[in-house]
Structure formats: C-alpha cells, structure tokens
Structure 1
Amino acid sequence: MEGKIVKVSGPLIVASGMGEAKMYDVVRVSEQRLIGEIIEMRGEMASIQVYEETAGLGPGEPVESTGFPLSVELGPGLIESIFDGIQRPLKVIREMVGDRISRGIEVNALDHEKLWAFNPVIKVGDRVSGGDIFGTVQETPVVEQRIMVPYDVEGTVEWIFSGEATIMDPVLKVKKDSGETVELPMMQRWPVRRGRPYVSKISTSEPMVTGQRVIDTFFPVVKGGVAAVPGPFGSGKTVVQHQLAKWADADIIVYVGCGERGNEMTDVLMEFPELKDPRTGEPLMKRTVLIANTSDMPVAAREASIYTGITIAEYFRDMGYKVAIMADSTSRWAEALREMSGRLEEMPGEEGYPAYLSSRLAEFYERAGQVQCLGGDGRTGAVTAIGAVSPPGGDISEPVSQATLRIVKVFWGLSSSLAYKRHFPAIDWLQSYSLYTDRIEGWYNANVSPEWDSLRQKAMGILQDEASLDEIVRLVGVDALGFRDRLTLEAARSIREDYLHQNAFHEVDTYSSLPKQFGMLKMILAWYEQGLEALDEGASLQALIALPVRERISRLKYVPEEELGSFAEVERQLQSEIAALLSEEGV
C-alpha cells in the first residue's frame, strides 16, 4: 500500500492515502526508502517519525507501508554485535559504505549467510510448546544461545536438524494439533514495543553484586531490579555505568548509548574487547551487545534504541540468563519524546515534555524483573535495568528525574561536589537510597557474614553523625568538639576515603568482592570501636589517630583478592598496637 507525503517537519512527516496502515507499522519513505514508523493515525492521514535525515524530502513523494511493526531479529549473531538504535549492524554498514551511514541503506541485522553449529536437544516424537528449548548454538566461548520454540507454536516434532546451518534455514518441523506442519529456523522476529511473555514474575532476594563498594554495601540492587543514576555533567554517570557493565554479576550485558556523545561510546568500543572478564578470562565483548545511538544520529532513533535494547535483553532472559541492561541516558530519550510530541502539536506537560512521559518510562522499567520463563523446564531469568538520567545542572526536581524516581527502587544520586573533590564513584551517601536493603539483608548475612547488616548500619550511622558534626565545626571550629566526636569524624573520613572512594582505573581497586568489602569495613569499624574504648580508659586521641596500623587499613583496598588472609594479620596488629598504647600511657 502506497501513500504520498503531504508535509515534512524535521524527522516528522505527514502522509495521505494511508488508511489501510496500522499504528507503529514500519514504512519506507520516498525513492530513497528511508525507514520510518507510524506514530499517529487520523483517517487517511498518518504521522510518521523517520529514523534518518529527512533533508530534501518534499510533498508528493511516495510512502510505502511494510505492514509490520518495528521489530528486531533475534538469534545467533547478537553477542559482540554493535547496532544503531533500529538494529542496523554498524560494522557491516561501515564495510559497505564507509564511515558515514548512507540514507536508506537496507541491511539485515544478523548475518543470514553465516553457518552456525546447531545441536538439537530434543528428538522426533517429542511434544513441544512455546518457550521450549529445542537446540543450542555455542555463539561465543562464554555464551550458549538456546534456540526456543516461538510462543504461538505447539505440537509434535516431525523432524529436527543437526549440524551447520544459517539462521534462516529450517532446523525443526513441528506438526500442530490442527494437522498443519510448520518449519522453524533459528531466528525469530519480535516487535520492540511489546514485552515478551513469561509465566510469572518472581520476587527475589539475591543482590546483583557489582564489585563497587558504595553500591554493594549501602545501596544494593537485586537481580531483576531497577535503578537510576542521576547526576550533573561531569559527575561520573557514564563511568558508573561502564563499571557496572564490566563487573556486575550478570551473564549478558546490553549497553544502550542513547543520545550520549560519540567519544563515550568509543571508550566502550575500545575498552570492552580488551578487558578480561573476571569470571571467564575471555574479553568482556564475548557476552555483550552494544547499541550505539549517539547524539549526532537522528533524534527519533533514540526512542527506538531503548526498546531495541530491552527486547534483546528479554530474549536472553527467556533463555534463563541473568541480563543487565544499561541505558545511558533516559534523559536523551525523553528529549526525543518531547521533540516528536511538539511536532505532533500534542498538549504539553511540565517543561514541554509530553503528558505521557511517566507512563512511557514506567513501560520501559516494567519490562525488567526476574521471571519464570515459558517452557517445560521451569527455568528462571532476570533483566536488571539501570538507567542514567542527565538533569540539566544536576537539578533532580525536573520532570524526567522525578518521573524516574517514582518508578525505580534504587537511587544512586551523583554529587558534583564529590566529583570536584575527585571522590569517585561520586554517589552521595546522604541522598541515595535502596528500597531492596531489607529484602536482601538475609542473603548477605547468610552468604557473607552474620555481621554484615550490623556493620553496614554502624558505618552509615557514622557518616550521618559526621554530617551533623560538620555543621558545628563550620560554626565554632573542631576544637569545640569532644574527643569522642573527633574520633567519629576521623572514622567517617576513613570510611569515605579508604572504603567508599574506589579507583576505577586501578587493576586491583576497580573491583572488590563481598568478602573483601566485609573485611575492609570490619577493620575500619574495629579501629573506631576499640579507639572509643581506649579513649574511655584515658588513651590519647592523637596517638590513636597516628597508630601505624591505620596505614595498613587504608591500603587494604589494594590487597589482591587472593591475599584476603592478610586481613586477620591486620586485625591482630590493631589489637596489639592499642594494647601497647594503653600500657605505654600507664592506663
């Protein structure tokens, strides 16, 4: 079915003669066959957002509907790929046309010619239904693609293939109860705006361990949880997301660069192939999918990039994997919504954003979670969604931040003042929060130490006491404080500088396991508690602060994981030095 362009307004065009088309159908615009999507229908008139540059288009040019919604190709070949916002493979496009993406270029998202070694896991005569795994492909050394029966297919296996095949070749024949026989390839297509089905959502109490001390200790996120990272320019949002992508306890990473600067995506592209995955020893790219929709690409494609990323994440979730999706940043996505809403002349909400901004954000984050997947084996999978928010000037009272905070359960608020002090990650411990803390307290106590939660609460109490004491110090000076309060300030400084500060570029400090985090925090608090007791017995404050063991405590962050046994030696040294101090002073 073909219509004609009536009006062109930037990335939005209006076409007539589209009465048979449907909402969200993909269309091809003009003789250049630019790709677009219908976002509004009024009788025969369709409003289309075009995902490519529309300069030079004019009234009367043809518009052809494909009859299908915007969909992604799902199958072997996803891992290690770099796509744009509408799943066009950037490496393939570069080989075809060079460094600049040509308008109207048509290319398959996945390689339809590459042969993959397909291994069947069922046999002829078996009964299968939607979600059942019928074969596997070893896509990379660390990721096994589990090929699933489409959700609308149920019946008996008539034939199954074994050996090398392309993703388009039939590898399974199923005879439905109606008598019809269907041939299934390895590849599926799925519309990006529709969540993939599952049996049920599951409440989980297991944290997604990130190796970042301020997150794992104070503001943890569960597997299948949702978190937001708001912060002003230069406060380290992208570095936090990169650290989570590198070290988070997830099987698959989907990283969406949504409207961010090209050099930030370049950092990802350069680092990930070289970075060794600590769990497998292979390059991190061997379990990563990248979607690069940078700020110089068409604005309309930013919105699609978020949906493309979450759909790919759901696909791996359905295989039984734990997936983490990083969206950097949802503010750029919201700006794309605002621009398209303005061109559609819709009633604006606060600050010009569309009135449906909150519901669109909620639809995205709602697709995260831990679920029981479809299929007879009862497997579970999870998608953990972490979205960066870039409020202008760091003002989180603006609409995107506020709409996000109403939805997410974890708030890692970045502070420009901490960033200016070179304290990274610049997560403000007095403003951030996690609503998962109570839920996963039992997991930490059972899997790390029964003392975990009490240590965490003591440390947070010291940091809050420091904030109160700082007010007094600014008014009347530190000399007005008692010795116990001064020791509290020193303990808080140690927690901030020796524990919460973490160097993302140091080969050891970039990641801390939970046992190491527990040992570090325990030693800082042990010095503080034993110091309070020593003060009560008459010890000198300055002598306590100057104990030689404190330097060892401050350098525990640089102790490799395989040398955690040395923590016990530090504890013995602390006890002996405090005992020696008390005996020297005749206490």
Structure 2
Amino acid sequence: MSSNDRIYGINGPVVTIKETKTFSMNEMVYVGEARLIGEVIGITDRMTTIQVYENTTGLKPGEPVYATGHPMSVTLGPGILSNIYDGIERPLKLIEEKSGAFIEKGINIEPLNTEIEWDVTIHVKPGDQVKPGDIYASCPETSLIVHKCMVPPNISGEVVTCAPNGKYRVNDTVVEVRDSLGVVHKLTLCQVWPIRQPRPVSERIPIDRPLLTGQRVIDTLFPIAKGGTAAIPGGFGTGKTMTQHQLAKWCDADIIVYIGCGERGNEMTQVLDEFAELVDPKSQKPLTDRTILIANTSNMPVAAREASIYTGITLAEYYRDMGYHVAIMADSTSRWAEALREISGRLEEMPAEEGFPAYLPSRLAEFYERAGYTRNLNGTEGSVSIIGAVSPQGGDLSEPVTQNTKRFIRCFWALDKSLAYSRHYPAINWITSYSEYIVDLKPWYDQNVGDNFIRCRNEIASILHEENKLMEIVKLIGSDVLPDDQKLIIEIARVIRVGFLQQNAYHAQDTYVPITKQLKMMETILKLYHRSKELVAAGIPISTILETGLFDKVVRIKYDVPNDKLEMFDAYSKEIEETLNKITAAA
C-alpha cells in the first residue's frame, strides 16, 4: 500500500496533514511507517486533523498516512466474552504473548481468535427470507452464554446456501444471502460495526422493571431500572470501584461490560485479578464467562481512552440485540472527559468551564442515551444499563463532569467521604442521592414484592431526612434537650443506617440480599418504630424502651436471619410485640 499523503505536524496524539482531499470525517487511518491506528476528527480545505490511538513518540513529519475507507469500528463475534481488550478492541492477552508487558507500537492483532473452532448450529435453510437482525446461526460462546449470529442491519434477502451444523472459525462463511439487487452476501460468524454509530432497534420500550443488585441502599432507596442510567460520583477512597464490583457480581444482568477508562494501572490490575477469581453466584461458574473487560490505564495513549467508552457501549449493544440484558460499568467518565479536554487543548479549541470543551455535554449525552430497554430487530427484548463512575477532583460534586452527567442520568448515587472513612459501605449518602425511577418501578414492586414495599421505602426515607434535620439541632445544643419522640427518630434512624443501609460485602448472608428479605427487614424496623412511638406517646420514657435491647437486636437481623429462612422474621415481630406489651402493662 502506498500513499501520497504525508504528515505535516505532530502535537502529542494529534497529527495534521496539509492540503489533501483523500480522507472523510471519522475515517480510520494508519499513521506513519509503524502504521499507528488513528481517526480523522477534523477536515478543512487546508488541513486534515487525525487523533492517534497509540503513542506517537518517534513519529516524524513526512511519514505517510494511509486511508482505509471505513470508520473506526469493532469486530463483533464469538470470543468477545471473557476477553480483555484495550480501548480500541485489541486483545491484551495476545499482545502480551507477542510483545511482552508493554504494547508494541503499530501492533495489529485480530480482536477475535481466528483459529478457534466453534460448535455452530445453523438456524436457516436455502429459500428462507431473512431480514436485519434475524438469527442465522448460534454457538455456545461460554458455559453461560449462547452466541447468536445475526444478519447485519444493512442486509436482507433470500438464503442461497448454508453450511451444515458443525465446527467453524469466525471468518468461515456459513450462510449466503442474495438481496433484491441480486448481490450475494457471505455471512460469517462475525460482523463489523462503527463504534460511534448506535446499533438500530425496532423500538424503545418504556422502562418498568428494576435492575436488582442485592444492595439494600440501591434496591430500596435509589433503584436503577433495566435499561436505565446511573452515576456514582465520589472522591478518592470513597468506594466507587468496590461498589461497581458488587454490582457486577450480583446484579441480575446477563452480561457485564467493565470499562476501566484512565484508571491507575495497579488498580486496574487488581480489578482484572479479582474478576478472574470471582465465581458467578447464580451459576457457580467463573464470572468472566459473562464478562467483557476493557482495560485502558492512565499511562496508555490518551486518545484511546476517549474511544474505549464507545467500544464498550457498542459491544454491549451487540449482545443486547441477541436478547440479553447487559450492564456497563464505566470507571470512570471523568478520566474520559479529561482525555477530551487534553485533545481539545491540542486542537486549540475555545475552552469552556474548567478547560473542558464546549461539547462535553453533548458527548456525555451521546454515551448515556445509548442505554435503554428495547425490542430488537429480531423480536427479542434486551437492555443496556449504564452505571458510570465519576471522579471529581477533590470530591467537588459541583464540577462540570458531575453536573453535566446529572443532566443525562436518572439515578444519582453520591458517595460520601465521611461515610467511607467511618467504614460505612456502600458509602452512598442517603440525603444527596436520588432515583427518578421510583414512580416507573412502583407497579413492578407492587406486583412482585408486595404492595407495601414503596410505602415502607418512603417511610424509611422520611425518617432519615427527619434525622438529618434533628442532627443539626443536636450539633448546636446536644441531644438531651430533645423530646422523647425526636430521640426515638434518632434511635430508629441509627437502626436503619447500621442495620439496613450498611452492608458487609465479605459476609456470606449480607453481601447479597434478595428483595423479599429487604422488605421483611423494613417491616420489622418500622414495626419497632411504630410500637415504640405509641409507648412514647403514652408517656413511657425512651430510655425504658432502649433498655429492652430490641434496637440492637434488630440491627443484627442482617446477619442473624439467613436469606433463605425469612419465616424467622415472624419470631422477631412477635418478640417486639410481647416485649413492648410488657412495658405497657408495667406502666
């Protein structure tokens, strides 16, 4: 391949070419003699601008730039699951085998292993009419996920030939389709899709069911819906990564896409090591059998960090189109926004707030709006849920990335540094966090959990907000001057905080809590509150009620009642009733 287009200028990852009309916007290109991967991001009559996704050290003006004629894309097919990719879908395990611990410049390795033979079942026969999204073949990709090969969105027509069931590689032709113009298209086990273009769907379905996580503060107070969006903002050490680990392990999504975008290398190594050891609690198989990991550490080329978000969401949409529910963990979108800022600065664009480009909100919208619950082209239903971590500098939630993210998400889990430092995990602040999905999900909770779930949830939230107001008074004048009914609110709020919201990820019974147990816990706490309130109203001192030890006993319910023995709650309810009745009788 030869090229007459030569590098004119180099500014970090930004390369310019002078006076050429060879390239189109967002086209993928190869830059320099080393053939570094790049993408066209700007075109004028005088200059074409390219961002390079690899280290440009050693690149010189005058080196050639090669056009490819197609946009920046990913290869979609069996073998994606349980793999570890960089930001532009290069498999890091194979790169390590070929070039060692550091990524060699210009290295070009197929995203999918072309030598593995998959046990393929063909679902069509000659003469069948197929349309975009139809499943023409399938194979077991892992022990948990069946990979379904779908007709690409731009192809439809009549099946001319199809291979028999058997073992095939990803690039082997298994079906041929003739379209209305008489052109025959060869369908293999894989297809290519541009990362910046959302995959088409038949329709977007209104959100009506939660993404259950087994984390009480999330499922009860601030639920996220399947196909919904959430942000986890928090400063250093507040537990963003740990919270995302818990969600990845326990949420009821079929597939997890974990994007480590610009995080520290040692932290990313820890993530990769932990995921490799985790066991899927539902199937007892390795969690990696339903996980895709995209690792783009802080010392990798900054432009690839910007692409990694789009790579991850495209892979998620592909599995959604098969009818799976996919959850994306993006850690963190702040590092992605910093990559935008750096490239924007090198392009000498006019900066907006705190130096971020003026198009930061629209880029965030492009990402989060690709979430949703959909009916796919093949009639199946699937969803992509996005949970993005935000790392504001100094924990300042008023900075631009956090504030602009809030415009496009409906669930906000604000991590609190003081909670984290007091070992209260998940460190989600119940005052500043919110979820706008409560109204949408109420019918599901009423039908599947109990029609008093939302009522209990609202009362729990109300008590916590009342305690927050009272603590302002306590800070000024102390708690001794409060009347007993207000002291009761503070005491029951402590039970809620320690016994319900705080959760131990390393305890067998507490790491995951089914939604039915969450309701039973709320009912028990509120029963204690209501009966105690009656006694206080009757003039019985709060100190007398506290001496029974019921409050501490209810705190320990999360450990003492196994998840599969919910009938034990009846005994707790009976004990509360009998103990408080004795106090009433004695009075």
Query: Aligning the two structures, in what range does the TM-score lie when normalised by the shorter sequence?
Result: over 0.9
Secondary structure, aligned partner of 1:502: coil
Q: Distance in 1 between matches of 2:151 and 2:566?
A: 47
1:64 is matched with which residue: 66, 77, 81? 66
The CA deviation string for residues 455-495 of structure 1, in whole angstroms up to 9 with x for no partner, is 11111111111011111111221111111111110000110
Displacement after TM superposition at 1:400 (Å): 0.9
Secondary structure, aligned partner of 2:153: coil
Deviates more, 1:362-371 or 1:468-477: 468-477
Q: Contact 1:293/1:305 (CA < 8 Å) preserved in 2?
A: yes
Aligned to 2:277: 274
Displacement after TM superposition at 1:168 (Å): 0.3
Q: Following superposition of structure 1 onto structure 2, how do residues 323-402 of structure 1 map, counting pairs within 5 Å?
A: 323-375=326-378, 378-402=379-403
1:174 is matched with which residue: 166, 173, 177? 177
Aligned to 2:81: 79
Aligned to 2:149: 147
Q: Contact 1:4/1:17 (CA < 8 Å) preserved in 2?
A: no
Q: Contact 2:22/2:67 (CA < 8 Å) preserved in 1?
A: no
2:56 is matched with which residue: 46, 54, 59? 54
Aligned to 1:429: 430
Secondary structure, aligned partner of 2:147: strand
Q: Distance in 2 between matches of 1:46 and 1:441?
A: 53
Aligned to 2:297: 294
Displacement after TM superposition at 1:316 (Å): 0.4
**How high is the sequence identity, in percent, across the aligned residues?**
50
The normalised TM-score by structure 2 is: 0.97
Displacement after TM superposition at 1:430 (Å): 0.7
AA matched with 1:421:
S
Residue 97 (structure 1) aligned with residue 104 (structure 2)? no
AA matched with 2:352:
G
Q: Distance in 2 between matches of 1:337 and 1:357?
A: 8
The CA deviation string for residues 278-302 of structure 1, in whole angstroms up to 9 with x for no partner, is 2212111110000000111111111
Q: Contact 2:280/2:287 (CA < 8 Å) preserved in 1?
A: yes
Q: Following superposition of structure 1 onto structure 2, how do residues 302-317 of structure 1 map, counting pairs within 5 Å?
A: 302-317=305-320
For this pair of structures, how many residues does the alignment match? 583
Q: Contact 1:549/1:570 (CA < 8 Å) preserved in 2?
A: no
The CA deviation string for residues 77-111 of structure 1, in whole angstroms up to 9 with x for no partner, is 01000000000000001111111111111100111
Q: Contact 2:175/2:186 (CA < 8 Å) preserved in 1?
A: yes
Deviates more, 1:507-516 or 1:270-279: 270-279
Aligned to 1:494: 495
Displacement after TM superposition at 1:17 (Å): 5.3
Secondary structure, aligned partner of 2:158: strand
AA matched with 1:81:
N
Displacement after TM superposition at 1:573 (Å): 1.6
The CA deviation string for residues 147-201 of structure 1, in whole angstroms up to 9 with x for no partner, is 1011111111122221100010001011222222221101000010111011111
AA matched with 2:295:
A
Aligned to 2:411: 410
Displacement after TM superposition at 1:402 (Å): 1.1
Secondary structure, aligned partner of 1:137: strand
The normalised TM-score by structure 1 is: 0.97
The CA deviation string for residues 94-144 of structure 1, in whole angstroms up to 9 with x for no partner, is 111111111111100111121001111222221111000111111111101
Q: Distance in 2 between matches of 1:38 and 1:291?
A: 23
Aligned to 1:133: 135
AA matched with 2:330:
A
Q: Contact 2:82/2:291 (CA < 8 Å) preserved in 1?
A: yes
AA matched with 1:318:
D
Displacement after TM superposition at 1:442 (Å): 1.6
Q: Contact 1:5/1:15 (CA < 8 Å) preserved in 2?
A: yes
Q: Contact 1:141/1:286 (CA < 8 Å) preserved in 2?
A: yes
Q: Distance in 2 between matches of 1:11 and 1:383?
A: 31
Aligned to 2:441: 440
Q: Distance in 2 between matches of 1:352 and 1:570?
A: 57
Aligned to 1:546: 547
Aligned to 1:534: 535
AA matched with 1:302:
R
Aligned to 1:217: 220
Aligned to 2:109: 107
Q: Contact 1:2/1:18 (CA < 8 Å) preserved in 2?
A: no
Secondary structure, aligned partner of 1:563: coil
AA matched with 2:269:
T
Residue 239 (structure 1) aligned with residue 215 (structure 2)? no
Displacement after TM superposition at 1:547 (Å): 2.1
Displacement after TM superposition at 1:575 (Å): 1.4
Residue 518 (structure 1) aligned with residue 519 (structure 2)? yes
AA matched with 2:136:
F
Deviates more, 1:8-17 or 1:233-242: 8-17
Aligned to 2:473: 472
Secondary structure, aligned partner of 1:14: strand
Aligned to 1:419: 420
Q: Contact 2:85/2:294 (CA < 8 Å) preserved in 1?
A: yes
Q: Contact 1:520/1:556 (CA < 8 Å) preserved in 2?
A: yes
Q: Contact 2:35/2:106 (CA < 8 Å) preserved in 1?
A: yes
Q: Distance in 2 between matches of 1:284 and 1:578?
A: 47
Q: Distance in 1 between matches of 2:448 and 2:568?
A: 21
The CA deviation string for residues 201-241 of structure 1, in whole angstroms up to 9 with x for no partner, is 11121010011111111111110011111111111111111
Unpaired runs of 5+ in structure 1? none
Q: Contact 2:484/2:541 (CA < 8 Å) preserved in 1?
A: no
Deviates more, 1:378-387 or 1:551-560: 551-560
Q: Contact 1:72/1:87 (CA < 8 Å) preserved in 2?
A: yes
Q: Distance in 2 between matches of 1:494 and 1:404?
A: 33
Secondary structure, aligned partner of 1:370: strand
Q: Contact 2:294/2:312 (CA < 8 Å) preserved in 1?
A: yes
Q: Distance in 2 between matches of 1:263 and 1:557?
A: 34
Q: Distance in 2 between matches of 1:207 and 1:87?
A: 30
Secondary structure, aligned partner of 1:302: helix
* Structure 1 segments (4+ residues) deviating >6 Å: none
Q: Contact 2:397/2:403 (CA < 8 Å) preserved in 1?
A: yes
The CA deviation string for residues 331-384 of structure 1, in whole angstroms up to 9 with x for no partner, is 111111111111111111111111111001001111110111112xx2111100
Q: Distance in 1 between matches of 2:4 and 2:23?
A: 9
Displacement after TM superposition at 1:540 (Å): 3.6
Q: Contact 2:162/2:174 (CA < 8 Å) preserved in 1?
A: yes
In structure 2, relative to structure 1, the CA distance for the partners of 1:2 and 1:526 (3 Å cut) is farther
Q: Contact 2:492/2:551 (CA < 8 Å) preserved in 1?
A: no
Q: Distance in 2 between matches of 1:195 and 1:87?
A: 17
Deviates more, 1:16-25 or 1:431-440: 16-25
AA matched with 2:68:
T
Q: Distance in 2 between matches of 1:360 and 1:145?
A: 31
Q: Following superposition of structure 1 onto structure 2, how do residues 2-13 of structure 1 map, counting pairs within 5 Å?
A: 2-13=4-15
Q: Distance in 2 between matches of 1:8 and 1:40?
A: 14
AA matched with 1:543:
T
Secondary structure, aligned partner of 1:532: helix
Q: Distance in 2 between matches of 1:236 and 1:257?
A: 15
Secondary structure, aligned partner of 1:39: strand
Displacement after TM superposition at 1:44 (Å): 5.2
Q: Contact 1:19/1:45 (CA < 8 Å) preserved in 2?
A: no
Q: Distance in 1 between matches of 2:223 and 2:137?
A: 36
Secondary structure, aligned partner of 1:23: coil
